[in-house]
Structure 1
Amino acid sequence: MVTVKAAKAERLLNLVIALLNAPSFRTAAWIRQKVAGYGDAPTEEAFLRTFERDKKELRELGIPLQTPPNGADGYRIPRSEFALPPLSFTPAETAALALAGRLWETTALGAAGSGALRKIRDADAGDGSVETGTDASSEDPGEGGPDGAVQTLLQPRVRTSDPSFEPMLAAVRAQRAVEFDYRKDPGGPAEPRRLQPWGLVSFRGRWYVIGHDEIRGERRTFRLSRIAGELRPVRRGPAVRPPAGLDLLAAVAATVRRPVADRQAVLRVRAGVAAGLRRTAVTVTPIDQAPGWDRVQVPLGPLWDTARLLAGHGPDVVVESPADLVEATVTLLTGSLRAMRARTGQAPGPTPDEAPLFDERDSE
């Protein structure tokens, strides 16, 4: 049984093929008669509604659907604007493309990066080795030559550890507005925001989203690591359109302040553990009210990297401040706990607010 979504995809593909191979403009009447999927429309009005939706969707996908300059009824897709021209790359350019593809393969953009490389490879007028950057006769990219071991060992990565990265990327690609709570100051309260996102930018080692803030009515830039909680997509509303010609990187660079270098985290650390943290500590002070524990003050690096480091110490390290680091660490720990209980079938335990931060025996 063919689903409605599958039927629509097949109809759109048939329309693209028909208009791409057309020697001249095709009228709407010709499309209804000749293109499979349109002849089933019960009335002319139903056909026109379906056809208008399909035209809009093709243009939103970037497919160049043209009409006659004189405004007459007719449609075509110029092959020269639809397909990539034959491409040719030097060995250095081929290696750079392969490296760029590997850079993203473990992130939310992995599928998009692989698809882009595949299109470039198909249009490559050379030997088709764009995908790996090695000899095309080698079946294993990690072998087949003196550079094979280097390819396996030197594996670049882009960190996209912020939990809001993937849902924000999905909103950008779907051209949908989102709502979220945001901390303008790392230690301050979270405020509600409603944003029409235009794009994501990595700048100075941090990820930002730039777009139109509907609450403030102007362009704003937000650091993903300061988004508190989950993103809430706005289901209704017009598609988000970024301003034509906007340079996202330049816009973010012009608005982002340099990171504060002297931010510090205050931790409660069990005595005798976390030697790595103690080596970077600014101060280490025993806690009189909790024997066996020290209050440790350390420089605060990137938020989620620091949270992962601290969460890895389990019950031996408790984050006291700043508030955004406390929330990030609790989010990681509770997420791991939920995943473990889901795998083992255990009943839900106490919430983070109900659970003790350290054993009562340690304070006796």
Structure 2
Amino acid sequence: MTTSTARVLALLEILQSGGLRTVPDLAARLGVDERTVRRYVGHLLELGVPVDSVRGRYGGYRLAPGYRMPPLMLTDEEALAVVLGLLAGRRAGLVTTSAAAGESATAKLLRVLPAALRRRLDALLDTADFTARPRAATAPETEVLLELAEAALHRRPVAIGYTDRKGRESDRTVLPYGLVAHAGRWYLSGADPADGEVRTFRLDRVTALRVRSGSFEVPAEFDPAATVLDSLARTPWTHDVSLRIRGSVQHIRGHLPAAIATVTTPDEGTDWVQVRIRAERLDWIPPVLAALDRPFVVERPAALRDLVRALARRLDAYATDESA
């Protein structure tokens, strides 16, 4: 959806709330000039929406008395795409404020669909099941997410209050480069204007937000998603694991994705890859190394070598036990 289309729909939403709206008020609400407001009203009239124009010092626009939006006309495929999108967002933990927001949006959508199509979608929602479990996560406030999105789009610095993973509170100024949804959480990737260092922030830890004046440029080829994944992989944890694995980066990434490990591509002439993992526990790593089925060296910690040996002994015992 283009920005202008979104604002035309926003104008309709404002007018549907009732009352007479002045042109300056609409311009301020939509973030456009008064001439653009009049153009948007023209678009609504072209679509058959009866917008009355009231002239005079206190004039403006309002919807014709008694006007109601017609039922939402979507094809079966379009309606299915919207409903499944809402459902997927809820299960992925990406709905904002609460799961109730996604449920109420789905209910409103179903109410304005034609009855026959509504019955078919109700049947799908009642009978469909998923192999993946719903992901629980703490969602950010809706206003925080949307205001940061606008700031990132228009290249505006923001001042935020932030609580880090250790509970420490701070006030920061950030140049918002991009927003990333990952593993049921929203992240902001942005730079500190003082030193240019790029940092990652969890949006549910943002306690205050204010858009500041000024502008900035995002570095060429900057990839917010890759930056967030790299930052998460480098987050300090209880164990700093260092491995050398003989194999291709593609094969290793199939078992150790970017959110879990950093992989340094091998120098020319060698097929050994350097892998770093930050982990709270070590017990899950030996089974992954076994699944890789490639030669490896545990550089640190020593405790991981003991766990690998223990797994090898168990597997050997299972393989030689003929009593089962």
> Taking structure 1 as the reference length, what is the TM-score of the superposition?
0.35
Query: Which structure ranks higher in relative contact order (CA pairs < 8 Å, sequence separation ≥ 6)?
Result: 2
> Taking structure 2 as the reference length, what is the TM-score of the superposition?
0.39
**Which has the larger share of strand?**
2
